[in-house]
Each structure stands twice: as C-alpha cells, then as structure tokens.
C-alpha cells in the first residue's frame, strides 16, 4: 500500500494493521458512537478547514476541495454513513471516506490538530445541545406540576414522614416540595452548559501549536461562548462528564422521590391518586391489575443513572493524558442525557394525566391524630405550660385514645395532664376540635413557604418566574447556536467557490 493511502491505523510507525480482536472490541465501541458524533465532527472539521484557509496555512485550491468533500459528507444522514470498525474509530472512518473523495487535500485536515480534537468537540456539541433539551423537558415537568398544584390549593391531604401520617397539608404544598429543587436543577443544568460551551478547538497537541491557529475564530465558528483556555486541559477535562452526570442524577433523584410517593399513593391500600390508562400497563396474568408502569420506569432510570455517574467518575480517575474518560463518555453521556429527557417528559405526561381522589385525601388527613402538633401548640398557649410538657400530655392522651379507639377529647387530655403536671387543662371541646381540624391547620400555615393557600400562590408565582427565565435563556441560546451553525456552513460554501 502507498504511504499516501496506507491503513488509517497504521501510518509509517506500525508495520501491521489492527488485530481482529482489537477491531471487534475497542474499534467497534468507538465506531458505534460514530452516528451520535457525526454531525459535531462534521462541524469541527469544517470550522478547522475554514480557519486554516483564513490564516493562510492551507493552499486555496486544496482548501476548496477539502471543504467541498466535507460539505458533501456533512449532507449524509449520520445513520447512513458507512461506519466500519475495520477502519478504526469515528475519526478514522471519516478520514477513510475523505481519502476517497479528496485524496490530494485530506492530509491538510491534520494540520495543527490531533485525532482527539474533532471527537472532543463533537462530544461537547452533542452534550450542550442535549443539556438544552433536558432543560426544556424539565420546564415541561415543572409546568405540569405547577398546573396540578394551582388546581389543588385547598385540597387537604395527609403529609407523611417515614410513611406515617405526620400533619395535614394541601396537595399543592406537597407538590411544590419537588418544584423547589427543580429550580436548583435549572441552575445546575445552566452551569453545566456554560462550562461545556467552551471551545477546545485549536489547542494543538498538549502544549499548544507553533502554527498560527486562530482559537477565537474557531470558537466563533462553532458557537462556543469562549475558550477552554489551557491547551492540555482543553482536550481532557475529566470533570466535565462527572459534572453533567451529577446534574442528571440530582434531577432524577428528585423525580424518583415524587414517582415513589405517587406509586404508593396509587396503590389500592392508599387510593389517593390514579394514573391514566395511557400511563399504565396491565398484568399479563392478573386481569384485575392496573400497574403504574410509567412511575416504575422513572424510578428505574434514576437508579441506572446513578451507575453512570459512578462510571464517569471511575474512568476519569486515571493518569492525565489518558483516553479512558473520553472513549466511554463520548457515547455514554449524550445517551444518558437523551434518556433523562425522555424520562422527564414521561413523568410530565403522567402528572398531567393524574386523577386526584380528593375525598379520600381529606378523609386520610383527618385520621391518625395528625392535628396533634397544633393541639400541643394550643395547650402551650392556652394553658401556659411549656412546649415539652404539652408534647408529653398530648402523647399520653393519644396513647390512651388509641387503646380505646376514639378521638382526642377534653377528658383524655385532662387525665394525661393530671398524670404529668397534677393539674387538668380545662380546654373546651371547641378548642380541641378547632386545633385538630385539617383545613384550619393548613390555613394557619400562612408564613413564607407554608401550606396556606396564599403562601402557596406566592411560591407558584415565584417558581413560574424562575421557569420563564430559564426558558428565555434556553430559547436565546438555541437561536445563537443555530445562527453560528448556519454561518459556518455558509462560510464553507463560499470558500469552495473562491478563486
């Protein structure tokens, strides 16, 4: 074989081509990520060629020929490109194709650029777009939850801790438990995007390049906001996949907690909500069952993503300048983002289709002596005993009430108070009933963040504002990226026709 067109994994340094077992394992894995990275690698190659022409490194005719071949390859659908592990990874597959289309010009594409640059850029472009997609999915989930909360400002429901009745609340206040951390998820996703959206292009090998590569121009052509400055760090950045996966896991753990609660609430034993038929699945063998499959799937994905986070950290824990953290992250992280976005959209649809059993919730909220905390406060304020003593009195009275299966009343409280303080409380039955009333309990929580309807309305307004800000940012960024890509393709087209 000629030196000009030798085996892509061989060059002049190695005397033989790759072993079949290398092709079947490592090359197959890397080539398998080719369709996912194809679009970004095309943009990276086009930008690099445009920059080489503009700074005068590549002769004009060779540059025009190379750009024409790159544009023709860019037009191929990623799924239709003939990736073959026998030709190596995604980069060398593309180079093999270009050698057939522009054999005299393809060698210029290597000027000032190692193999990993195009792949790294493609990975970053894939991740940044998917971070925007996941942000949009999260916004839809937040919108679905906020809509359900707004429709249930006065829907009284029991709040559970340790799966035991704790205090009455409203469904709206409960639901905002999950929206609040989603506002933090928005911040985490934006931060991960901003750090992903820094260009490693034009870094050279490890210590830069003696060629006059215009890194700022490359960043502009590829829509990056700035530079990943240090040339050695720019090509490796092992913390990037860890940060992205950590943001994904934080988001999905919050979604999992909601899905777990709703799966319990949808059980026959609780019966407080029901999933729509379109988000459920029947049992193959038990015809009476309606399984909350959508919620189970959300839970499974959250757990699977925890494993991917650990994997991202594990492969990054290596001597610097190693490929470990890259070859597995290139496909793994973008696919994880795809799965996360689909899962978040699934949960959003499930929430939107949820049926709320308000009567069951109200009944449950009045059970289990869940007004005991408020009764303790009333005793403290009305009878002049300290909080700890009031707590003991109510606790003893609840124990006595459970033994005879009856509600708390003045007699039970007086008996308990005499045993503890030597004095009865003399609370009226009306005071006790009012203190234990679930709706009255909710309305009393009027402070910031509380369950009272006016407090919840304020929070909903604030969360909708955060959501609108995030959506505005996402829309603005997507427009910027589209403009940059269109500009790159237009510039490349013009240079193919330059004299």
Let me know whether 235 and 142 are in one domain. yes
- Alpha-helical segments (H) within 285-437: 293-316, 324-327, 329-352, 358-365, 372-383, 387-404, 410-421, 429-436
Evaluate whether 44 touches 224 at the Cβ level (below 8 Å): no
Cα separation, 323 vs 314, whole angstroms = 13
Cα separation, 72 vs 410, whole angstroms = 86
**Helix 453-496 × helix 34-54 angle, to 10°:** 60
DSSP label at 77? -
Let me know whether 323 and 394 are in one domain. no
Task: State the average pLDDT over residues 106-117.
Answer: 92
- Per-residue pLDDT at 362: 95
User: Which residues have CB under 8 Å from 271's CB, separation 6+?
Assistant: 265, 357, 360
User: Which residues have CB under 8 Å from 243's CB, separation 6+?
Assistant: 192, 195
Q: Which of 247, 8, 238, 217 is nearest to 123 (CA)?
A: 238
The yes-or-no verdict on residue 499 having pLDDT over 60 is no
Q: With H, G, I as helix, E, B as strand and everything else as coil, classify residue 424.
A: coil
Verdict on whether the full-model pTM lies above 0.85 = yes
Let me know whether 327 and 249 are in one domain. yes
Let me know whether 296 and 180 are in one domain. yes
Residue 209 maps to a domain: yes
Residue 361 maps to a domain: no
- Per-residue pLDDT at 240: 95
**Domain termination residue (choose one: 56, 80, 111):** 111
- Per-residue pLDDT at 326: 80
- CATH classification at residue 229: 1.20.200.10
Residue 116 maps to a domain: no
Let me know whether 98 and 138 are in one domain. no
- CATH classification at residue 86: 1.10.275
Residue 492 maps to a domain: no
Tokens for 340, please give them. Answer: 């996360």
**Domain encompassing residue 94:** 20-111
The yes-or-no verdict on residue 261 having pLDDT over 70 is yes
- Chain segment 209-229, per-residue pLDDT in tens: 999 999 999 999 999 999 999
Task: State the average pLDDT over residues 186-200.
Answer: 98
Task: State the average pLDDT over residues 422-434.
Answer: 94
- Pick the range with the lowest mean pLDDT from 11-20, 345-354, 440-449: 11-20
Domain count, the chain: 3
Q: What is the largest CA-CA distance in the chain?
A: 105
Give the residue, 78 or 15, on which the prediction is more confident. 78
**Hey, how many other C-beta atoms are within 10 angstroms of the C-beta on 52?**
24
Evaluate whether 145 touches 445 at the Cβ level (below 8 Å): no
Let me know whether 294 and 194 are in one domain. yes
- Per-residue pLDDT at 498: 65
Let me know whether 299 and 385 are in one domain. no
Q: What percent of the chain has pLDDT over 70?
A: 97
pLDDT band at 123 (very low <50, low <70, confident <90, very high): very high
Mean pLDDT of the chain: 94
Evaluate whether 295 touches 262 at the Cβ level (below 8 Å): yes
Give the residue, 368 or 411, on which the prediction is more confident. 411
Let me know whether 327 and 292 are in one domain. yes
Tokens for 39, please give them. Answer: 């679009």
User: Which residues have CB under 8 Å from 377's CB, separation 6+?
Assistant: 387, 390, 435
Let me know whether 37 and 180 are in one domain. no
**Hey, how many other C-beta atoms are within 10 angstroms of the C-beta on 317?**
10
> Which residues, listed in sequence order, are joined to residue 160 by a DSSP beta bridge?
165
Evaluate whether 242 touches 306 at the Cβ level (below 8 Å): no
Cα separation, 392 vs 390, whole angstroms = 5
Let me know whether 70 and 217 are in one domain. no
- CATH classification at residue 381: 1.10.40.30
Report how far Cα 75 is from the mean position of its chain's Cα atoms. Answer: 31
Let me know whether 147 and 25 are in one domain. no
Residue 117 maps to a domain: no
Cα separation, 383 vs 264, whole angstroms = 40
> Which residues, listed in sequence order, are joined to residue 226 by a DSSP beta bridge?
198
Tokens for 202, please give them. Answer: 């034009």
Let me know whether 43 and 183 are in one domain. no
- Pick the range with the lowest mean pLDDT from 316-325, 326-335, 351-360: 316-325
Residue 235 maps to a domain: yes
Residue 320 maps to a domain: yes
Q: Cα angle at 355 between 353 and 360, to 5 degrees?
A: 165
The yes-or-no verdict on residue 408 having pLDDT over 70 is yes
Distances (CA, A) of 434 to 91, 373, 431, 439: 73, 13, 5, 9
Residue 348 maps to a domain: yes
**Helix 115-150 × helix 453-496 angle, to 10°:** 150
């Amino acid at each position: 074989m000629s030196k000009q067109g030798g085996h892509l994994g061989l060059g002049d340094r190695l005397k033989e081509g790759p072993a079949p077992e290398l092709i079947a394992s490592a090359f197959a894995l890397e080539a398998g990520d080719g369709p996912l990275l194809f679009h970004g690698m095309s943009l990276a190659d086009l930008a690099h060629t445009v920059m080489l022409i503009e700074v005068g490194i590549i002769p004009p005719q060779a540059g025009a020929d190379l750009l024409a071949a790159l544009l023709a390859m860019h037009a191929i659908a990623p799924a239709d490109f003939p990736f073959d592990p026998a030709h190596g990874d995604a980069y060398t597959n593309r180079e093999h194709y270009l050698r057939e289309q522009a054999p005299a010009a393809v060698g210029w594409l290597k000027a000032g650029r190692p193999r990993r640059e195009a792949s790294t850029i493609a990975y970053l472009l894939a991740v940044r777009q998917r971070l925007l997609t996941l942000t949009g999915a999260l916004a839809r989930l937040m919108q679905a939850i906020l809509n359900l909360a707004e429709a249930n400002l006065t829907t009284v429901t029991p709040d559970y801790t340790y799966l035991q009745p704790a205090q009455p609340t409203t469904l709206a206040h409960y639901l905002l438990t999950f929206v609040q951390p989603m506002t933090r998820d928005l911040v985490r996703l934006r931060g991960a995007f901003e750090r992903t959206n820094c260009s490693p292009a034009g870094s050279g090998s490890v210590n830069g390049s003696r060629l006059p590569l215009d890194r700022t121009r490359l960043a502009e052509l590829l829509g990056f906001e700035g530079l990943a400055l240090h040339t050695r760090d720019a090509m490796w950045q092992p913390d990037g996949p860890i940060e992205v996966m950590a943001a994904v896991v934080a988001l999905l753990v919050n979604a999992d907690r909601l899905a777990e609660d709703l799966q319990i609430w949808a059980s026959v034993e609780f019966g407080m909500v029901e999933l729509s038929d379109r988000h459920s699945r029947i049992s193959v063998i038990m015809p009476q069952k309606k399984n909350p499959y959508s919620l189970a799937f959300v839970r499974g994905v959250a757990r699977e993503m925890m494993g991917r986070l650990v994997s991202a950290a594990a492969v990054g824990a290596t001597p610097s300048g190693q490929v470990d953290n890259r070859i597995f992250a290139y496909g793994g992280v973008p696919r994880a983002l795809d799965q996360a976005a689909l899962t978040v959209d699934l949960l959003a649809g499930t929430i939107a289709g949820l049926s709320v059993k308000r009567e069951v919730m109200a009944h449950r909220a009045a059970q289990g002596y869940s007004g005991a905390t408020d009764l303790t406060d009333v005793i403290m304020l009305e009878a002049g005993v300290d909080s700890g003593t009031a707590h003991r009195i109510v606790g003893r009275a609840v124990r006595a009430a459970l033994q005879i299966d009856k509600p708390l009343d003045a007699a039970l409280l007086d008996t308990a108070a005499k045993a503890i303080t030597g004095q009865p409380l003399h609370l009226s039955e009306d005071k006790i009933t009012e203190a234990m009333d679930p709706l009255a309990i909710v309305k009393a929580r009027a402070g910031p963040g509380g369950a009272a309807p006016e407090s919840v309305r304020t929070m909903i307004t604030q969360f909708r504002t955060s959501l609108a800000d995030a959506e505005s940012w996402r829309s603005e960024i997507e427009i910027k990226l589209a403009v940059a890509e269109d500009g790159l393709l237009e510039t490349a087209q013009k240079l193919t026709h330059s004299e």
